[in-house]
Structure formats: C-alpha cells, structure tokens
Amino acid sequence: MPGPQSVINKEVAVSRKADAGLLANAGNSQFADRVFSLAMLCCALCVLALVGLIIYELASKSSLSWRASGIKFFFQSDWDPVNEHFGALPFIFGTIVSSILALVLAVPLAVGVAVFITEMCPRWLRGALAFTTELLAAIPSVIYGLWAIFVLVPLLREYVEPWLAHYFGWTADFTHKLGFQGPFEGPPYGIGMLAAAIILAIMVVPIVSSITREVMTAVSQQQREAVLALGATRWEMIRTGVLRNARAGIFGGIILGLGRALGETMAVTMVIGNRPEIAASLFAPGYTMASVIANEFNEAPGDAYRSALIEIGLALFIVTIIVNILAQFLVWTVTRGTPARANG
Amino acid sequence: MGEGIKVEKLNAWFGKTQALYDITMEASANHATAIIGPSGCGKSTFVRCLNRMHETVPDARATGTVRIGDLSVYNGTAAVQIRRRIGMVFQKPNPFPTMSIYDNVAAGLKLNGFNDRKRLAEIVERSLKLSALWDEVKDQMHKKSGASLSGGQQQRLCIARALAVEPEVLLMDEPCSALDPISTGKIEELIFQLKERFTIVIVTHNMQQASRVAEFTGFFLLGKLIEFDKTEKIFTNPSDKRTEDYITGRFG
Amino acid sequence: MADTLTSTFVSAPVSLWRRGINSLVTCAAAGSVILVLLPLVAVFGYLVYKGIGSINFAFLTQIPKPPGEAGGGMANAIAGSALILFLGSLAGVPIGIGAGIYLAEYGRNRFGNVIRFTADVLNGVPSIIVGVVAYGLVVLAQGNFSAVAGGVALAIMMIPTIARTTEEMLVLVPNAVREAAYGLGVSRWRTTLSITLRTATSGVITGVMLAFARVAGETAPLLFTTLGNTYWNWKINQPTAALPLQIFTYAISPYDEWHKQAWAGALILIILIVASVSAVRLVASRGMLKGAN
C-alpha cells in the first residue's frame, strides 16, 4: 500500500493540473457588496421614514382643525359636532383619569407578581408563572373588551358598584363641599370609568410586571448577598438590595405601562360608555381620545369633524411618544441596553 | 506548488493603538514558517494581516507591502480574491453549525459560485483525504452536521474546508491550542505532509511545536519582529538576547 | 447606606415585628399573583364556556347571516384576516428582516442606535394612530376601504417588531462563524445571507411569528382601513372582513345570536394566538441551541 505522502502527492498533483484557477472567475463582488449594504440601509431607513410619515399624515390632516380653533381646542369641553364646536377636554380628561386609575390598580399587583416570581417563587414554578403572565399580554384587546362587556360590567353593576356606593358613599359629603360629585355617586350602570380602569389595569399588569422582573434580575446577586449578610429578612433584602437598585427601571416599566394605557383603544371603547362629559364619579360614563377616534371617525361627515378627530390623534401620538421615550430611557439606565421587545 | 509570501515594512493599528511595527520577513514557498512569542506580541495580528482578515475588525488598518508571488495583497486586489489564495484555519474550530460535513467542506466553493456537482464531490473527497479525515467520516458526511464531530475532527474539517478552495498558502492561528495532545499530534503530522504542496505559516505559543513542524521561525515581541531565522538556529543559538530569554523561559 | 442598615439590622435582632412584616409581604406578593391570574383564568374560562357551544362546521365555513336569523359563521372573517396578514407581511417581513440585518451587521454605531431607538419608540405607537395614518395614505388615495389598506397598517406595525427581533437573533450568531466564511474568500453579502442569516433562521422565524401573533389580534388599525365585509371577498382593493373586526361588531350589537358568535370567534382567535406563542417558545428554546453553537 503506498505511503500516505505519495498518496497526497498524487492527489494534489492531479488537483493542480485539472483545477488550476478553480475560482478564477469568481470575481471580487465589491459591487454586489455595495448594493446589498445599500438595500439593507434602505430597509433601516424605512423605520425612520415611518415615523416621519406618521407625523406628516397627522399634522397635515389636522391642520384644518388647528387653524380653526387653535390651542383652545384642548381646553374646551363641549364636543358638539353638529354645530361644529370641537372641544377635546373631555377626552383628555377621560384618557388621563382612566390611565392613572389603571396604574393605581395595576402597579402594586404587577410589582407584587414580579417580586414573587423573582425572589420568592420555587424554581419549578417560575417558568410556568412567567409564561402565564406573558399569555396575559398576548390576549388581544377586543377579547378583553368582549369579556368586559359580558362579564365584568354586569359584575360591577350588580355587586361591586352598589357595594362601593354603600360603604364609601360618605365621601360624597366631602366632595360636594368642593363643588363636585362624589367618586361613588350616581347610578351604577356598570359601564363607565371604573370598568375602563379595571380592564386597563388587567392589560397593563403584564407589561409592568415583565419589565420589573427584568430589572430585578439585572441587579447582581452580590447586592442581595451583601444585604443578607447584614442580617436582613428576605423582604428587607428585597426592599433595600433589589428594589432600591432597580428603582429607575421599575419606574420606567410603570411609565411604559402608562404609555400602553394611554393608547389602548378597543377594550376601553367597549366599556367606557362613550359620553363626552367630564364627571367626578367613577360610575359615570366617559370617553377617551382613542375611543372617540375609533367610534366616530368612520361616521364623521365633514372635513372639519374628521380634522378635529385627527388633531386628537396627533395629540395622543405626541403624548405616547414622549411617555415611551422617557420609559425606554429609564429602563435602559438599569439594564444598560434597550430590550428588543414589542410593547403590546 | 505553493507560493512564498514576502512582507515588507508591515505596520498595523487598532484604532489609534499600533500593534505591529515595520515587520519585514519572508515565508518561503513549500515550507512551514512558525511565528512565536509571548501573549499579546502581535502574532495573530500579523498573520491576520497576511490575508486581510485584520480589516474585518472595525477601525483596524494596516500599511506596508505584502506579496504572494507577484501579486500585491494590499493595493489593488480585492480582499476576497486574496483570501481564496491565502486560506486560514482559526484557533477554535469553527465549522458552519447548520451544515453537514460535506456541505462544510464544499462551502468555500459553493458560496463562491462553483456549482459543478460531480467535481465538487471529487474535491470534497480529496480535501478530506488531504486532512486525514476521509476514512472517519466518509459514510456519514452528508448526514452528520459539522458541529457533531470531536474537537480534533472539527479542526481537521476546518483544514479540509480551507484546502478545498485550493489556496497556495495556509495560515494557521494556533490551530492546536484548543485540542487534546492526540489530536494535536495528528494535526502536526498533517502539517508536515501538507507543506510539501502548500506554504504554511503557523502561529504557536508552543515552542516545541514550532521546532517539530517548521523550518523557519520568527520571534515577535511587543509588535516587533525580533529575530527571523532557521528554526534550528533560533532554538539552539539565537542572535538576540531577548529571543534567548524567551526560549529559555525567562518570561512569557 | 451601610451605617443605617447596620443600625437597623444589627441593633434589633430579628424581632417578631420584622418577621411578621416579612410574612405579610410574602402573602401580599402571593396574593397579587392570584389576583392577576384570576382574570386570566376568567377570560379563558368564559371564552371556552361561552364560545365552544357555537363553534361548529357551519361556523367555520359560512358567512354571516342577517341579524335575527340563526346560524351563519365567520368563515369570511377568518379568511379575510389571513388575506390581510398575508398582504401586510409582503412588505412587513422583508423590510423588517432587512432592517434587522442592517442593525446587526452594519449598525453597531451611533446611527444604528438612532434606528434602534426609533424602532422601539414605533413599537409603542397606539395602533389606532397607525390606522388613521394608513387611512390617509391608502384609503384616501384609492377612494375606498380595502384589504390593501389594512395590510399597510399591519405592515407598519410589523416592521419595527421584526427588525428588533431579527437583530437580536443575528447578534447571537458567534463571530467565529462569520470569520470562517470571510477566511474562505466569501464576500460580505454572501456571508450575511448564506451563513449568518442561515444560522439564525429558526430564531428569525420565531420573531416573525411573534409579530404575526401580535398584529393578527389587532382591531383598531383595521377600523378605518379594511372596514369589514359580510360577504366573501378576495379582491384586495375592496373592503374585507377580519376576525377581530367581526368580533367587535358583533359584541357591541344588540343581538343575542351575534353575541354568541362573538364568543366563538374570540375563542378561535385566542386559540390561534396561543398556539403560535407556544410554538414559538418551543422552537426558540430548541432552535437557539442548535443554531448558535
């Protein structure tokens, strides 16, 4: 049997003769490289273009309304399309109140869930719990709305609101002195601000919870151990070793949740009652910026009407952008890198 | 026959930090040249400049002349064309994870537009034989993934992959440092045989390996080429005191 | 900080009070988990309870009947959703993946950070606004509502999501793999497509499916773009039915029969979404190990 060297020699000699310049025609592909990187750049620029497009569309289509009413648009509270009086204050009020209320309900729960999952939960349960909170985030808004109409609202109407009116109705005595309704006053329709706040809270919990979990996990183990070594109980360790360090990020998560609540449309539209009035009672129907656009855009007969709605849309867009930028920034300071995640 | 590489006044930078200073040397055709030196002396950087892999790092640049045969590596020819003539084997074996053994070896050719199926099969077989892997994988090479082989086998796969493109020079950046002694031995034997037909430049921090495998050796220190000579001379009678200190183990 | 901590912890050995607080907090945290899981169970429970009765072959194959008449189904809405999703993905997926490739391979710099940031901000734009924009861009230009307009709205929502997940997956591919290809003289574009992208394929597909699951359930962007339709429609320039739209219309209607169908439609929708989210998790946990090693 020929030795290995001669085998190799023979092989290589054959190859050199037959395949000299195997890839001689392969070229230098500089042109293709350039075209490719340009194409990828264009795709990336589309992202920037989309934002520009959105701003342009909203600004141009709302200019009619802006020129007609100016800044007063946002401070007037009569929404009277028939007579072409457009005041957006009720919607701003509705959006802000429903969102803040939702956060008040959601944040303690979300942080509680996050704390439980990261610090207290047995390991085998962790994945399952995390998955189920993720599932909550995956449920579409319209399904939450559907459930809210047929399950939540009757519940509020039959049980919760009468109970609240019974036990907390005395608050009305204080607010009457200040000149407005009590928070639990008025007929318990079920439909109204309270329903909207509750369903929004359910939708916001997963976002705040997952960001909180993320920033809590980002706090190094050494921080926890340092506090434990001083003799702290588990809660004290969580409070001083983890939550304090993750504060900025948790706050960012809350702001992100706010952003989501502000822009939430379908579920809110289905239970808020769609009445453009400012009321102090939680039982009263209301209206949000997103809801009025959803409900009235298609029926809006006239350029002035549509333009007013689009102006509301522009305001909503600007507010949510600012809120989201603030949130991203806060989360980034703790995790040192923007998480690639869709908020929705 | 392989081609020799001539290097003249090669300087290299990473951003503002200079990594190589005026390197001038020659790797003779059909011989193995070893590059030795302590960690951080610029051995890898030097070798990566020979086939312009240095450029793949952002903010990296090099000046000077490198010639393979008549062709100048910088000034004019595209990097991809150079790299088909000057192949490379890396420190940690890096077969393409989603490809079979066969596809791994054929990758260099296929991705460069060479599509003749019959000849591809011949070339793959030849390359695997050249890297002494053929007998171990010939039954499974279409089914098994490149990443399912052992470390030593993966490295031989990477050598086969580099050889399939038919380079004239093969650069090896510490090819055995991640391998066990038996695999190292197999690969050293391979180098011994390959250098008859290819020019080999091998970076190694293992001096015994250099003396086993290479006819010539260059000693690098802090980005400068301190001494370059026949391996025998470097290890028995070095001219520079620093070389002597290194090979006797005073540092590094 | 150490001083105040020391004085709090050391001078008071773990008192009953502190242990009590600790237990209370643990209970509160566990309680919040239960409170949060409650609506989840309730929503899914009701969906199954109310919806399962109305899902039958007729539901899945027929189009809606006029109000008051029993029977009929949401077949056209399910098909319409698929059509609109498909149209949206024609632009959304390639552009999204392209942007992701740019961010991973060419964008590790300040300009790339601008794009990255913008994509994250875009992900937070309310979907109703996207609907308004698509209305202005497509419906006004065309003169009528259409599936294409709906597709455009969904594409606008898909692009930033897919871009970021694609980037995340590509960045996971070890640099050694790219270097192996460069060392063989393979050009950069070929390396990116045939080696890097190929290695990250399962992860990228995961990201695309997640984007699909998210936009498939969106109603707001379809309200003023595709409008809805009670009949079959395959013409992309005409109003088309969509599942979430149909659910919405039926839910707010006064007819009991339609309410039942709304539940059924919602059940179908949630099954599809949960199936893709779970499949994605399965693929992700296996695919990444396969590809990135």
Q: Which residues of A touch B114 (CB under 8 A)?
A: 22-23, 26
Render pLDDT for A195-223 as a digit per residue (tens, 0 to 9): 999 999 999 999 899 888 888 888 878 88
Instruction: Cite the DSSP H helix spans in chain C.
Output: 2-9, 16-51, 57-61, 75-101, 110-122, 127-134, 140-142, 147-172, 175-183, 188-190, 198-199, 201-216, 220-223, 243-251, 256-292
**Minimum mean pLDDT among A53-62, A76-85, B192-201, B222-231: which range?**
A76-85
Task: State the average pLDDT over residues C259-263.
Answer: 90
**Option in B83, B98, B111 nearest C199 (CB):** B98
pLDDT at A341 over 70: no
Chains that touch A (3 or more CB pairs under 8 A): B, C
- CB–CB of A29 and B165 under 8 A? no
- CB–CB of B129 and A8 under 8 A? yes
Confidence label for B31 from pLDDT (cuts 50, 70 and 90): very high
- The nearest CA of chain C is from the CA of B114 a distance in Å of 12
The A-side interface with B (CB below 8 A) comprises: 4-5, 7-9, 11-12, 14-16, 19, 22-23, 25-30
3-state secondary structure of C241: coil
- CB–CB of A8 and B197 under 8 A? yes
Q: What is the pLDDT of residue C290?
A: 47
Confidence label for A342 from pLDDT (cuts 50, 70 and 90): very low
The B-side interface with C (CB below 8 A) comprises: 51, 53, 56, 58, 80-84, 87-88, 90, 92, 94-98, 107-108, 111-112, 147, 158, 161-162, 165
The B-side interface with A (CB below 8 A) comprises: 1, 77-78, 80-81, 84, 109, 112-114, 119, 123, 126, 129-130, 132, 165-166, 193-194, 196-197
Rounded Cα–Cα distance for residues C102 and C107 (Å):
6
Confidence label for A21 from pLDDT (cuts 50, 70 and 90): low
Render pLDDT for A233-286 as a digit per residue (tens, 0 to 9): 888 888 888 888 788 888 888 999 999 999 999 999 999 999 988 888 888 999
Pair A240, A121: CB distance under 8 Å = no
Rounded Cα–Cα distance for residues B101 and B28 (Å):
32
Question: What residues have CB less than 8 Å from A62, skipping those under 6 apart?
Answer: A307, A308, A310, A311, A313, A314
Confidence label for C56 from pLDDT (cuts 50, 70 and 90): confident
3-state secondary structure of B51: coil
Which residues, listed in sequence order, are joined to residue A85 by a DSSP beta bridge?
A: A80
Q: How far is CA B61 from CA A66, B18, C140, in A?
A: 56, 9, 54
User: Residue A213 is inside which H or E element, if any?
Assistant: helix A193-218
**Option in A15, A25, A27 nearest B166 (CB):** A15
Task: State the average pLDDT over residues A40-46.
Answer: 95
Question: What percent of chain C lies above the pLDDT cut of 70?
Answer: 91
Q: Scanning every residue of chain C, which has its alpha carbon at the shortest distance from the alpha carbon of A290?
A: C128
Q: What is the pLDDT of residue A1?
A: 45
Q: What is the pLDDT of residue A18?
A: 33
pLDDT at A96 over 90: yes
**Option in C124, C167, C281 nearest A340 (CB):** C167
Chains that touch C (3 or more CB pairs under 8 A): A, B
Q: What is the pLDDT of residue A340?
A: 39
Confidence label for B107 from pLDDT (cuts 50, 70 and 90): very high
The DSSP bridge pattern shows strands B60-68 and B32-36 to be: unpaired
Task: State the average pLDDT over residues B152-156.
Answer: 93
Task: State the average pLDDT over residues A316-338.
Answer: 81
- One-letter amino acid of A322: I
Pair B96, C180: CB distance under 8 Å = yes
Pair C134, C200: CB distance under 8 Å = no
Question: What residues have CB less than 8 Å from A187, skipping those under 6 apart?
Answer: A283
- CB–CB of A23 and B112 under 8 A? yes
pLDDT at C292 over 50: no
How many CB pairs below 8 Å do chains B and C form together? Answer: 74
Task: State the average pLDDT over residues A28-37.
Answer: 88
Task: State the average pLDDT over residues B16-39.
Answer: 92
What is the pLDDT of chain A when averaged over all its residues? 84
Whole-prediction pTM:
0.87
Q: CB B15: neighbour CB atoms within 10 A?
A: 11
Task: State the average pLDDT over residues C132-157.
Answer: 92
Q: How far is CA C102 from CA A105, C182, C207, in A?
A: 41, 18, 16
Rounded Cα–Cα distance for residues A262 and C129 (Å):
12
Pair B173, B91: CB distance under 8 Å = yes
Which residues, listed in sequence order, are joined to residue B230 by a DSSP beta bridge?
A: B216
Determine which of C219, C250, C263, C278 to mutate to test the interface with A (most A C-beta atoms within 10 Å). C219
Render pLDDT for C17-26 as a digit per residue (tens, 0 to 9): 888 888 888 8
What is the pLDDT of chain C when averaged over all its residues? 87
Q: Which two tokens mark A323?
A: 């809120």
- One-letter amino acid of B30: N
Rounded Cα–Cα distance for residues C285 and C73 (Å):
37
Q: Which residues of C touch B107 (CB under 8 A)?
A: 181, 184, 186
* Interface pTM, i.e. ipTM: 0.92
- CB–CB of B112 and C186 under 8 A? yes
Q: Report the half-sphere exposure of C279 (CA within 13 A, side-chain side).
A: 15
Rounded Cα–Cα distance for residues B229 and B215 (Å):
9
Q: What is the pLDDT of residue A60?
A: 92
More confident call, A239 vs A321: A321
Task: State the average pLDDT over residues A46-65.
Answer: 93
Q: How far is CA A4 from CA A12, A262, B17, C138, in A?
A: 12, 75, 46, 71
**Option in A11, A23, A30 nearest B126 (CB):** A11
- CB–CB of A7 and B78 under 8 A? no
Q: CB C114: neighbour CB atoms within 10 A?
A: 14
Confidence label for A185 from pLDDT (cuts 50, 70 and 90): confident
The CATH number of domain A66-335 is 1.10.3720.10:
yes
More confident call, A7 vs B58: B58
